[in-house]
Amino acid sequence: MTDQEKILNEVTGSDYKFGFQTNIDTETIPKGLSEEVVRIISAKKEEPEWLTESRLKAFRHWQTMKMPEWAHLKIPEISYQDIIYYAAPKQGAKYESMDEVDPELLDTFNRLGIPLEEQKQLAGVAVDAVMDSISVKTTFQDTLADKGIIFCSFSEAVKNHPDLIKKYMGSVVPYTDNFFAALNSAVFSDGSFCYIPKGVHCPMELSTYFRINAANTGQFERTLIVAEDDSYVSYLEGCTAPMRDENQLHAAIVEIVAMENAEVKYSTVQNWYPGDKEGKGGIYNFVTKRGICKGDNSKISWTQVETGSAVTWKYPSCILRGNNSVGEFYSVAVTNNYQQADTGTKMIHIGKNTRSTIISKGISAGKSENSYRGLVKVLKGAQNARNYSQCDSLLLGDKCGAHTFPYLEVDNPSAVVEHEATTSKIGEDQIFYCNQRGIDTENAISLIVNGYAKEVLNKLPMEFAVEAQKLLAITLEGSVG
Amino acid sequence: MLEIKDLKVSIEDKEILKGINLSVKAGEVHAIMGPNGSGKSTLASALAGRDYFNITHGKILYEGTDLTELSPEDRAREGIFMGFQYPVEIPGVSMVNFLRTAINAQRKYREEEPMPAGDFLKLMREKKKVVEINSDLTNRSVNEGFSGGEKKKNEIFQMALLEPRLAILDETDSGLDIDALRVVSNGVNNLRSPKNATIVITHYQRLLDYIVPDVVHVLYKGRIVKSGDKSLARELEEHGYDWIKQEVDADT
């Protein structure tokens, strides 16, 4: 065995750093999904009747649906009756001050690197930390409230801003949209709600941090962001989860509504437990994320760095209804060991002079399978639509797979649609060249991968960019073959 | 500085080097010439630590240390530099980032502080002049889109920056036009000092007009069959390799 092979076989050097459990009492309900469970969830959250009804409608519809099978993914059958659909830390929902929060919970967040105390925050980042199904604390609410910005948990929004929820929830991703959207609409746990009023430029990065704790608890997040005319918000979503043997289902919905001249930036760094080196365990991440550029001149950008999950299935998309609206999708998706990803985006051009940009960088290593699936659809009335897509795949080793499934449906002759794709490998020669200059193999891979992903990483807000770079390096330790 | 004792090197089961003996002292320039297939690049790669070459016998002593115990990156950090015959491209990795990482890796090895960014850029500017290389090359990704000649210049540029003690230049002259040859040779010559040594591997005598060697060795069928001073190179230029081949084949 060559020296390089020896290094490579010191596979996935760092054990999943965030693999630990918090030993707090969590209140759960028995396994399985039924109308009764839906009612229990709604009751525990003290929801109004209209929302309970909405959940039930979604549930009944879900029962008529089947899990789609068109993705390039091999997923063992999921037993939906074997999952617990609700878990909340026993201590209840809201706290006046940090003193009241369960210290173990706080410790958990500290270990994850999210200090909740206002004093310890990164300059100006408000954090809404979701522990399992209940929001623990929302910071900076007061500061934001001065500007009329609402940033709170979804559950709180249901209570305090029901009109907004009623108006916008399901308007971008209706429960009929797909199997997992229906499931989420029935059993969604909690998430974030963000509302930026007319003309307001949100002064700080808004962020949410997720975690799945109790065994077999599905995480069904629901996030809704509404940006009124002339407003701006940048939202960060970062996720970690503990080590588990059983797969855990994550079926979230994120809806974004951007009105005239509004801009929403949504950035994600996803680091859910990816399963062990033999492909056992890990999170199933089936997410429906969609934004609608409702008003003219509006803009929605999705930026994601996906390194975790055993299976990733998501297509953050933009519906470009407003004239001159812009949709962007920047993604680095990394798969290693036995991870699988089928991810990409949909850009639907409806209005006039709409523009979309897609930059997707896939990195496959180990025995993983990484697929890009993208749709650029230009409707008949979409005059002067412009799209630029670039899908690159980087293969590390010869046992992984990279696939590209681009769909272009163009019904307007004035459209200009460009698509470029490259596939490359990190060659032994490149590694050796770095070695010969004194750079060891791990650092060489890190250099090369970061150079490859630079274009996307540059789009992330600074706080995330550094974490993202580290994540890339950690995820790919020991992966060149 | 470098002592190679009875070195035998194979790729898979094929023996390429059949017992090389070579001694290089600090301050010297040795040229290694020979026909295609004689094992010149194998020798270079074995010295650099390319791991698909198996050292089946013999020793490589560098400043007294057995090189075979060191990884390629440690060999580099100890001051060994190889100018590649076919420098590879590394898209997305900027020259600046690459070289700064390299320099800091070496400094770390020597337990020195990493070089601050400002100092490094200054150093780059200085060294660019040594090889007359422009910013439009050094501002790009490593070797990406470089012509053959530009890649070779870039090798010497890196050598100037890294200041190795032992440089092994593998066919640095291949693909160079007359002007580039002159520039590259000047660069190498400017870097010569009594403290470092250079092994120049080449087919052609012309390079050795510019980089004048102290010793010339001829490698044939995996062995050094003749050594001499720079006039040996001239003889080869005039008569080719045939007379040496005949001599050797007659003896065996």
Per-residue pLDDT, A212: 42
**Residue contact A433–B87, C-beta within 8 A:** yes
Contact A302/A330 with Cβ under 8 angstroms? yes
In this complex, the residue of B51, B92, B102 whose CB is nearest that of residue A448 is B92
Chain A interface test: which of B41, B82, B101, B110 (most A C-beta within 10 Å): B101
Contacts of B82 in chain A (CB under 8 A): 436
Q: At what angle do helices A179-187 and A49-63 cross, to 10 degrees?
A: 150
State pLDDT tens for residues A3-22: 433 333 333 333 455 554 55
Contacts of B109 in chain A (CB under 8 A): 438
Q: Which percentage of chain B shows pLDDT scores above 70?
A: 100
Contact B155/B85 with Cβ under 8 angstroms? no
**Residue contact B82–A436, C-beta within 8 A:** yes
ipTM of the complex: 0.94
Distance CA(B88)–CA(B98), nearest Å, equals 13
Q: Which two tokens stand for residue B39?
A: 């094992």
CA distance B240 to chain A (A): 33
**Residue contact B93–A438, C-beta within 8 A:** no
Q: What is the mean pLDDT of chain B?
A: 89
**Residue contact A451–B87, C-beta within 8 A:** no
State pLDDT tens for residues B201-235: 998 888 888 999 999 999 988 889 889 998 888 88
> Could you tell me which residue, A264 or B34, shows the higher pLDDT?
A264
Distance CA(A391)–CA(A421), nearest Å, equals 5
Distance CA(B19)–CA(B7), nearest Å, equals 5
Chain B interface test: which of A8, A393, A426, A439 (most B C-beta within 10 Å): A439
Domain B2-251, CATH 3.90.1010.20 — does that match? no
**Residue contact B98–A434, C-beta within 8 A:** yes
Contact B81/B103 with Cβ under 8 angstroms? no
Residue B42: count of CB within 10 angstroms of its CB: 20
In this complex, the residue of B52, B98, B105 whose CB is nearest that of residue A2 is B52
Q: Which two tokens stand for residue A361?
A: 């960088």
Distance CA(A205)–CA(A464), nearest Å, equals 11
Q: Which residues of B lie inside 8 Å of A (Cβ-Cβ)?
A: 48-52, 71-73, 75-77, 81-82, 84, 87-94, 97-99, 101-103, 105-106, 109, 141-142, 158, 162
Average pLDDT over residues B113-118: 88
State pLDDT tens for residues B40-59: 889 999 999 998 888 899 99
Q: B22: which strand partners?
A: B4
**Residue contact B84–A437, C-beta within 8 A:** no
**Interface size, chain A vs chain B, as Cβ–Cβ contacts under 8 Å:** 82
**Residue contact B52–A438, C-beta within 8 A:** no
By the 10 Å C-beta count (0-12 exposed, 13-18 middle, 19+ buried), A176 is classed as: middle
Pick from B27, B30, B2, B25: which is nearest to B230 by CA?
B30
Could you tell me the pTM of the whole model? 0.78
State pLDDT tens for residues B67-87: 988 999 999 999 999 999 999
Q: Residue B215 contacts by C-beta under 8 Å, 6 or more apart in sequence? A: B28, B29, B30, B31, B227, B228, B229
Confidence of residue B136 (pLDDT cuts 50, 70, 90): confident
Strand runs labelled E in A40-191: 87-89, 126-131, 134-138, 150-153
**Residue contact A437–B76, C-beta within 8 A:** yes
| Low pLDDT (below 50) residues in chain A | 1-15, 20, 90-95, 108, 112, 115, 117-127, 131-138, 209-217, 240-245, 481
> Where do the structural domains in chain A lie, given as residue ranges?
24-427
